[in-house]
Structure 1
Amino acid sequence: MNVPLLIARRYFLSKKKRNIISIISNISMVGVAVGTMALIIVLSVFNGLEDLVRSLYGKSDPDLVISAVKGKAFELQAPMLVQIRRTPGVGLVTEVIEDNALLQYRDRQMVVKMKGVSSNYYHQSNIDSAIVDGSHQLHRDGLDYALVGAGVQHELSITLDNRFAPMHLLYPRNTGRKTLSMNPETAFNEQNILAGGVFLIEQHIDDSYVFVPLQFAQDLLRYGNRRTALEIKAMPGRDIADVKKALKKQLGPGFKVLDSDEQHVSLLKAIKVEKMFVFITFAFILLIASINIFFSLSMLVIDKRKDMAVLMAMGASTRTIRNIFLLEGAIVAQVGAITGLVLGVGICWLQQTFHIVSMGMATSVVDSYPVKMQLSDVVLTGIAIIFITISVSIRPALNAANLDLRENL
């Protein structure tokens, strides 16, 4: 029989409505429960935001991207392309030319990210599912078409498939001089293209990107055989990490191969850092809420001095006395933590299932706050509560174990 646990449970379950110690213990449990619930909910929201970022960029992101370590472009020779296509696990290779360009439409203009892609791009990307107006095809009826982001279309008031008012794309001409010519005709390469479709993916992409055929970008930028990137789609069922490793071995140190997370490493790292700081902040809030456990145990030690003296006279060791109050603090924290976990998980489940709390923005790509529960968050929360409980309980427990037997009998 575990005597310390039995006595600790007895103290916890004793109901004395007018006992200030019981009131403080109940306040402690409520504080721990609310703090635990809030921590689970907030961490789950950060998990949901991380998944949302991946899903949004997944509409246009490839499985892997090959780019040069130095410089923004590299020479793509036929043997290199064949070598990449023959790499085990590589299903599709899309050639990409991407750079800033000046987009003019009627009397308006803005700098955009122009991305030229080869004809197999739609087998690589799901961007066709993000088209909200027009067609996703970049080449039809013998004409080249561009896909523009919803933000770009709104900024320039672009009309789709308007052959009387095409878009003008300009790129600085490489003349070998450090300064541009004052004559626009000699300072820029210029080509016209029709707007064929509008996509809606994510605000950063929607406000800056224009997709064009590879040959169009190649002619405008005068890139020849140079490419800024190669986008790789892995074969179904193949491990992307294995394909990445094989490509890095084939290409050598002059090239970098990035998976989906590495393509947006700054954004995902920012979310993880914010999540870590939120966890630390809420852990401190839990610590403050648990200070009531310290006060309730300290008062309980004073209230039960005679009981402890009797137990010590009957042969109880100082370790037994100490464990009684450690377990008393653990029970209070555990009840609060379990209640908070149940409430937190329940609220997250309701949000996932019924989408109760909306984003509150008409332009948002999702209707409600994304939530995703992870076992690791529950485990970390449990570890934090255990550490906090020991921290606030150990001092009253030591004080109880150091009681003078003669003074309290």
Structure 2
Amino acid sequence: MSFHTKIALHYLRPKNNSFVSLLSFISISGIAIGVMALIVVISVMSGFSHTLEKRVIGIESQIIVLNYNGLINNYRKTAKNVSSISGVKNVSPFIYTDIMISSESTSNGSVLRGIDIKTEEEVTNLKKYLIKGDLSGLDNRKRKEIVLGKILAQNLGVTVGDRVTIISPKGRITPFGVMPKTERFIVCGIIDSGMYSYDSTFSFISVRNAQAFLDLPTNVVTGLEVKLYKLNLTSANVFAKKIENKLNYRNASPSFYALSWEELNKNLFSAIKLEKLTMFVILSLIVLVAAFNIISTLIMVVMEKRKDIAVLKSIGASSKDIMVIFIAQGVIIGAIGTSLGLLAGFLIGYVEKTYHIISLPSSVYYITSLPVRMTVDEFLVIGISALFLSFVATLYPAYKAGKIDPAEGVRHE
């Protein structure tokens, strides 16, 4: 240990009735609280983003292919072309439309998805979120069955085995005028994705029944769901563009377009990123205020140790040595506060991640518990930022200490 560090540690030791020691404690506490707050908030925001990504990709596919005309004709040929692209694992057709759905007691708006149960399991994790019933009922040719989101089923007051009526937004012409088309379905399953926006609106039937209900030919669907072998944000966007180029090759005007899961939920994830950045900036101000406390602490130490500084200079210590001593003292204060803050933030995050102490209203936050995701990168960024601010805060007091004249220091004592 260098003599600079030894002297810096000596000045930090608590002394009776020492106002400087109190300031040091306040500085350490301020940095620790600021770093802890940053760790907790950033970890929660990262947890929100990561959890939503998993939930969204679980209930939706990684990429969807649509047609500018609204429907894809001869979809099997289109699906074959998409499957031929290297890196594409599976493709599944779907039909998408808004409907009204009613039970014996009430009615609700719903987003109806017609899916091919045999291929749907290859592109989404829909089966993973099934809490009641069986998805295989959708493939039942003897009777028409439907799967509902958990909140939607609760709002309708139905469960597995009950009957509901779906009402098409497109009416049919009868001698009595335009009448809405309706069909009766039996509830065969309940889905709980943990995301309110899905569980309160989505319903699922077979793509065959959806085609019949909407009077579509059997070779026509709304779009195609695509799953890749390897997924990350970059690959999803790149493959979406590859699919577009493949399907629109030699076409005079583009007919198809593809959207990645990130593009489909762009507003949601952009808002989370913005909130995360905003919270980082705001909470960094706590660390900045604590850094100003370091300035106050070191200035008080310089005033209290003028004689010591004079003695050190008289026995050969240079102005640079004096500066290093006070820089070391400030950095030690910052390091202690940062370490305590990182540890406290980690412990709080670990406890919440393990025991889910804080619950959230799913109607507001999409999920039911406070998510936490702690990464080494974020710990390093926050820790280094706090240490850097602590270092910058030492420069002015250290410079003033280095400029003290030995004779002046002794005379003031």
Q: Same fold (TM over 0.5)?
A: yes
Supply the distance in 2 between the matched residues of 1:102 and 1:87 (Cα, whole angstroms): 38
The corresponding residue for 1:156 is 156
Say whether residues 1:210 and 2:212 are aligned partners.
Answer: no
Shift of 1:185: 4.8
Shift of 1:211: 0.8
Contact 1:138 1:146 in 2 (8 A): yes
Of all paired residues, the percent bearing the same amino acid is 24
> Closer, same or farther in 2 for the Cα pair 1:342/1:5, shift >3 Å?
same
Residue 11 of structure 1 aligns to which amino acid in structure 2?
Y
Shift of 1:94: 0.9
The corresponding residue for 1:146 is 146
Kindly report which structure 2 residues correspond to 1:15-164, keeping only aligned pairs within 5 A, or say none: 15-68=14-67, 70=68, 72-106=70-104, 108-119=106-117, 120-136=119-135, 137-158=137-158, 160-162=160-162
Match of 1:138, SS state, is helix
Match of 1:97, SS state, is strand
Supply the distance in 1 between the matched residues of 2:166 and 2:373 (Cα, whole angstroms): 44
Shift of 1:321: 2.5
Say whether residues 1:234 and 2:214 are aligned partners.
Answer: no
Aligned residues: 398
Residue 62 of structure 1 aligns to which amino acid in structure 2?
S
Contact 2:149 2:191 in 1 (8 A): yes
Residue 246 of structure 2 aligns to which amino acid in structure 1?
Q
Match of 2:23, SS state, is helix
Shift of 1:368: 5.2
Q: Which 5+ residue runs of structure 2 have no aligned equivalent?
A: 249-253
Residue 186 of structure 1 aligns to which amino acid in structure 2?
V
> Closer, same or farther in 2 for the Cα pair 1:71/1:318, shift >3 Å?
farther
What TM-score do you get using the length of structure 1 for normalisation? 0.84
Contact 1:84 1:247 in 2 (8 A): yes
Say whether residues 1:193 and 2:206 are aligned partners.
Answer: no
The corresponding residue for 1:347 is 348
> Closer, same or farther in 2 for the Cα pair 1:140/1:259, shift >3 Å?
same
Contact 1:46 1:275 in 2 (8 A): yes
Supply the distance in 1 between the matched residues of 2:263 and 2:144 (Cα, whole angstroms): 32
Residue 21 of structure 1 aligns to which amino acid in structure 2?
V
Match of 1:280, SS state, is helix
Contact 1:88 1:243 in 2 (8 A): no
Shift of 1:145: 1.1
What TM-score do you get using the length of structure 2 for normalisation? 0.84
Shift of 1:3: 4.6
CA RMSD of aligned residues (A): 3.3
Shift of 1:330: 0.6
Shift of 1:169: 1.9
Shift of 1:269: 2.5
Shift of 1:205: 0.7
Supply the distance in 1 between the matched residues of 2:153 and 2:184 (Cα, whole angstroms): 16
Contact 1:171 1:220 in 2 (8 A): no
Greater alpha carbon shift after TM alignment, 268-277 vs 185-194: 185-194
Contact 1:40 1:341 in 2 (8 A): yes
Shift of 1:2: 4.5
The corresponding residue for 1:178 is none
Contact 1:167 1:195 in 2 (8 A): no
